[in-house]
Amino acid sequence: MIEIRKVARHELSQVLDLVKQLALFEKAPQEVTVTLEEYERDFEDNIFDALVALDNQKVIGIALYYIGYSTWKGKMLYLDDFFVLPEYRNQKIGEKLFNVIIEEAKEQQCNLIKWQVLDWNTEAQRFYQKYNAIIEKEWWNGKIILL
């Protein structure tokens, strides 16, 4: 029986492990430089929150998010990382996690849910299309790394 709920502080190390596995899948493992201590601090400061999918207390899926603001749409939930371990895929766990994210956004009175998907990740794109998601292709990402 897979359980989906908000993350507990003691599970953050497992969440970080899945974030690292996601980065490996995305061919960028060297990009994860955040520490567990930063995760714990930022979680306690309500900088982010996460949903976890659990199989016997083992975190097997994550949906890490934070509340932001769109100057065009208002309050939004930004889904930063969404990942299910490969051996648990095709069991509707991602669908359950995503549905709970939608409910969380509604409970938080958000007008928008936003995320990114890689151009080569067609499986993820197909998943989002089931939700009638708009996948924007004309916007380019910008960032400055301050480490």
The Cα–Cα gap between 100 and 104 comes to 6
| Residue indicated by tokens 């292709």 | 137
Strands 74-84 and 112-114 turn out to be: parallel
Exactly one of 39, 69, 88, 128 is catalytic; which is it?
128
Beta-carbon contacts of residue 51 (< 8 Å; ≥ 6 apart): 4, 5, 6, 7, 62, 63, 65, 97, 100, 101, 104
- List the chain pLDDT tens, one digit each, 147 residues: 899 999 999 999 999 999 999 999 999 999 999 999 999 999 999 999 999 999 999 999 999 999 999 999 999 999 999 999 999 999 999 999 999 999 999 999 999 999 999 999 999 999 999 999 999 989 888 999 898
Average pLDDT for the chain: 96
Active site residue 39: no
Cβ-in-10-Å burial (0-12, 13-18, 19+) of 139 comes to: exposed
Q: Which CATH superfamily is domain 2-116 in?
A: Gcn5-related N-acetyltransferase (GNAT) (3.40.630.30)
Question: 3-class DSSP state for residue 23?
Answer: helix
| pTM for the whole structure | 0.94
